[in-house]
Amino acid sequence: MIRILIVDDEKPICDLIDLNLSAAGYYCVAVQDGIKAIEAIEKDNFDLVLLDIMLPGVDGYDVMEYIRPLKIPVIFISAKHEVRDRVKGLKLGADDYLVKPFEVVELVARVEAVLRRYNKAEKQVTIGDVVVDVEARRVTKAGRSVVLTNKEFELLLLFVENKNVALFRETLYEKVWEGEYFADSRTLDLHVQRLRKKLGLEQNLVAVYKVGYRLEV
């Protein structure tokens, strides 16, 4: 299982990130200061670190200096939004920089992107008797291949990457169809219905009232 260290001095933010990344299938450890972050890295192996900058004890930049020789991917998550702050973080070796406040779906997407870059992302995801081979873009159900259109696969992949997270209709539409969402459009609903039917996900792919859809695993 992918192991992620969350470093942020605000416990509610740690809890929010932990809740959503755990729901997406990751193992998370959270600490609230820089010293504890370094201690955690010394004691355990992590595949990714989500790192705030303004921390008590040792700030995020100093923690980054410690992490850099270890070749662990890092995403800075900070309220510091100036270009110079983002540039400094990236020059120190961070793989990405996310500004607070952020949408959970964007955080999960960035985590997935960085893990893929390091070949650490899950290559296969299993949902009951459905197996999604992310790299091969192949889906099987009970061992039999299921043919999906490109849009159906992209939609399924978005659900898989955000397991147990409620995704807004607007987000799903914009990421899969790369266009503006119109409230009267039935495109998304029709694709969800086809995924349910083809993969037998009627109990897993559920509608969330006034939000959109969620893949429950």
Question: pLDDT tens for residues 58-85?
Answer: 999 999 999 989 989 999 998 887 888 8
CA distances 203 to 22, 127, 133, 156, 199, Å, are 21, 11, 21, 15, 11
**Which domains are seen in the chain, by residue range?**
3-117 (3.40.50.2300), 124-215 (1.10.10.10)
Rg over CA atoms, the chain = 19
pTM for the whole structure: 0.64
**In whole angstroms, what is the distance from residue 145 CA to residue 194 CA?**
15
Average pLDDT value for the chain: 88
**Residue positions counted in the chain:** 217
**Predicted pLDDT of residue 122:** 64
